[in-house]
Chain A
Amino acid sequence: MLHPVYRLATSDLNPPTIASMGFKSWRRHLLLPRQLCVFESIACEGLAWHEHREFARLQARRLAPFLECGVNAVIRSGRLMLWFWDRRELDPLIEHANSRLRNYLPTVETLFLPLPRTSGQFALHTPDGLDCLTLDHGAILQSQWQAGAGTAVQWRQYPWAFELAGASQHLSKQPGPRWSAAATKLASPAIVAGATAYMLFHAGTYLGTSAKLEELEREADQADQRISMLASAGQELRTQTRWLAAYRHAAASVDLEALISALTPELARHGVALKEFELRNEQVRIVVVSAGGDIDLPALLHSLTTVEGISNVQLRDNTELRQASFNLQVAGLRKLLGPAG
């Protein structure tokens, strides 16, 4: 979008005014009278093109003559040209003339006046006077403004050199924070600090985990020893259990009292009496006789089979149904005789 170019006109007698120049530009230019500015020129031959802007800003900051200073900076033919103005003086003028234009970029009018690429003395006519210049291949070495009668001048549609200060043309020597500069300065340390913190965090985690692992490894070694001792204790336990079981089996005898107590009711129920009794280890042979009547051998055999602790009942011999002998296995009726029982 193109914006109209304005010019600030000042006079000792009249209040300041702002008038349109009748042409437009891509930037919002507000032309300043040459007499409001202080000129400086510095040689910068050999300076790389990408260093122009930074060099200009640096020099502008170094040479700024006012506390609140505005600046235009251009480089032409190996020379940096600077125009400074006092913002404390200019800003009230703009505010008084047209406050809507306070966001326009002040630009010295010299940049919009035709300047030849010659060397030597040159008189540049301005609306308010004459700017006596000393040129070197189009670069201004010296500039001396002289007031005079206003003359009609031929304006350029655009500056004869690229303005380097741009939006950062407001310089201030007053102390105060510059957040962008501080951020630029702090960026590198901040990145390094962040990475260091990240690494320290992981280093701490690693060291902590390592120490914990070392402690757990010690406990695990003790656990392994305990497992070995558990196996040893288990072996000892099994040995003792086996010995006791073997002793109880080998030293136990048939519980005669329990055997007789179990047999007597069954024999009485079938009407038989015990005639002979022979016990050898776990084998018992009994001979029973009928007290009167026949012996119901199947029923007696079945009854003997159902007695708890008695097994493998066999009918071995009989005399008709009056007398019978049985073999019994009494492994389930064993006990220790003596204190251990």
Chain B
Amino acid sequence: MTQDSEKMSAGGSRQRVWLLLAVTTTILMWLGADELRQRTQLLQQQLTSAHKRIDRSSPQALETRRAEARRLAEMRRAILARLRTVDSEQMTRARLVYDLRKNCDAVPIVCRVRLAELSVGLQPSSNSAVNSPTSNATTEAVGLDALGVGRARAVLSGTFKGDDLMALYRGFADDENLQWKLNSLVVRGTGFELDVERLVLNADSPAANEVGP
């Protein structure tokens, strides 16, 4: 073979090698692109899943619920703060008798005040559950003891005329400082017996810790 034919043959071979390399590279690129395309589809599915996860909760919903919880907690603290007293048990009882007498004098109505059921202490029972008043029982069955609230109980008796008894009652209902609970009322003729108790939160009560100093 002559030098020319060798040159031409060499040139053709080189061109074929380049063409082979190009085809091989193209196939590899195409395979890589196809693999990437499939992975991208998988990522798209994960994107959809992530969107769903994000949509399940929003910062606004969290903030709203937190704000509502804070509002209720504040309401609870306000209630407990109104009930709170720094007086001792005996002082509380003495103040109860004094306040009731003042109420009677304010009407005015003739009444006798006596402390009732001295066995009922101002301290709630030791097994009370402050933060979880109901576990299995319904809310109706939960007493003040379970809520950590103490009671100072007294009985007023006497006679009344006209609207005196309702005026005495309004004295409890419209009290702006003290919380009262009416247990019983018996009226026979002009005689009455009123069983009433004042709700207090003693400093020693576990619930008092929620109010703060």
Residues of A within 8 A of B (CB): 42-47, 51, 54-55, 58-59, 62, 188-189, 191-192, 194-196, 198-199, 201-203, 205-206, 209-210, 212-213, 216-217, 219-220, 223-224, 226-227, 229-230, 233-234, 236-237, 239-247, 249-257, 260, 275-281, 335-341
A242 CB contact (under 8 Å) in B30, B134, B143:
B134
Using known A-B contacts A46-B1, A227-B57, determine if residue A239 contacts B131 with beta carbons closer than 8 Å. yes
Contact with A along B11-43 (1 / 0, CB 8 A): 010000011011101100110111011011001
Interface positions of B (Cβ within 8 A of A): 1-2, 4-5, 8-9, 12, 18-19, 21-23, 25-26, 29-30, 32-34, 36-37, 39-40, 43-44, 46-47, 50-51, 53-54, 56-59, 61-62, 65-66, 68-69, 72-73, 75-76, 79, 82, 131-134, 139-140, 142-144, 146-147, 149, 166, 169-170, 172-173, 175-189, 199
With A246-B139, A338-B82 given, can you name 6 additional A-B contacts, CB distance below 8 Å?
A192-B22, A195-B29, A227-B56, A240-B72, A279-B185, A337-B179
Q: Contact: B182 with A254, CB < 8 Å? A: yes
Q: A206: which B residues are within 8 A, CB to CB?
A: 36-37, 39-40, 43
Q: Cβ of B53 and Cβ of A209 under 8 Å apart?
A: no
In the complex, A281 Cα to B185 Cα: how many Å?
9
The answer to whether A257 touches B170, judged by C-beta atoms less than 8 angstroms apart, is yes
Compute how far the CA of A241 lies from the CA of B101 in the bound complex, rounded to whole angstroms: 36
Complex alpha-carbon distance, A224 and B58, angstroms:
10
Total of A-B residue pairs, C-beta within 8 Å: 229
Q: What is the predominant secondary structure among interface residues of chain B facing chain A?
A: helix
Are B69 and A202 within 8 A (Cβ)? no
Most chain B beta carbons < 10 A, residue from A44, A205, A241, A246: A246
Contact partners of B36 in chain A: CB under 8 A:
199, 202-203, 205-206
Contacting residues, chain A, for B65 (C-beta < 8 A)? 230, 233-234, 237
Please give, as numbers and ranges, the residues of chain B lying within 8 Å of A276 by CB-CB distance: 187-189
Instruction: Tell whether, in the assembled complex, residue B44 and residue A340 are in contact, meaning their CB atoms are under 8 Å apart.
Output: no
Closest 8 pairs between A and B when the two form their complex, measured CB to CB: A240-B72, A195-B29, A253-B182, A188-B22, A338-B179, A216-B50, A199-B33, A202-B36
B2 contact set on A, CB distance < 8 A: 42-45
Is B47 a contact partner of A213 (Cβ separation < 8 A)?
Answer: yes
A220 touches B54 (CB 8 A): yes
Verify A246–B62 contact, CB threshold 8 A.
Answer: no
CB of A209 within 8 A of CB of B47, answer: yes
**A47 CB contacts on chain B under 8 angstroms:** 1, 5
Set of chain B residues within 8 Å of A275, measured between Cβ atoms:
188-189
Q: A192-B25, A205-B40 are in contact. Are A257 and B166 (CB under 8 A)?
A: yes
Residue of B nearest to A242 (CB): B134
Least Cβ–Cβ distance between B164 and chain A, in angstroms: 13
- With A and B bound together, what is the CA distance between A164 and B206 in angstroms? 113
Say yes or no: A189 contacts B8, CB within 8 Å. Answer: no
Q: Is the CB of A247 within 8 A of B50?
A: no
Q: Specify the chain A residue showing the minimal Cβ separation from B51.
A: A216
B142 in contact with A249 (CB, 8 Å): yes
Q: Which residues of B contact A188 (CB under 8 A)?
A: 18-19, 21-22
**A240 vs B4: C-alpha distance when bound (angstroms):** 100
Q: Is the CB of A280 within 8 A of B184?
A: yes
Is the Cβ of B139 less than 8 Å from the Cβ of A249? yes
Within the assembled complex, what's the spacing in Å between the Cα atoms of A277 and B149? Answer: 29
The answer to whether A250 and B18 touch (CB under 8 A), given A47-B5, A339-B176, A340-B82, is: no
Question: Is A253's CB under 8 angstroms from B29's CB?
Answer: no
Task: Report the bound CA distance from A203 to B183 in whole Å.
Answer: 80
Candidates A191, A247, A254, A337; contact of B172 at CB < 8 Å: A337
Contact between chains at A216 and B33 (CB < 8 Å): no
Contacting pair A240 B76 (CB below 8 A): yes
Given contacts A206-B36, A243-B147, contact A236 B73 (CB under 8 A): yes
Which partner residue on chain A sits nearest B183 by CB separation? A281
Residues of B within 8 A of A194 (CB): 26
Residue of B nearest to A240 (CB): B72
26 residue pairs bridging A and B, Cβ less than 8 Å apart? A44-B5, A58-B4, A192-B22, A199-B29, A206-B39, A209-B43, A209-B44, A212-B47, A213-B43, A213-B46, A230-B62, A230-B65, A240-B73, A243-B76, A244-B75, A246-B133, A252-B181, A254-B182, A256-B166, A277-B187, A335-B173, A337-B172, A337-B180, A338-B176, A339-B176, A339-B177
- Which A residue's beta carbon lies closest to that of B37? A202
Assembly CA distance A212 to B47 (angstroms) = 8
Q: Which residues of B contact A55 (CB under 8 A)?
A: 4-5, 8
Residues B5 and A202 in contact, CB atoms below 8 Å apart: no
B12 close to A54 (CB less than 8 A): yes
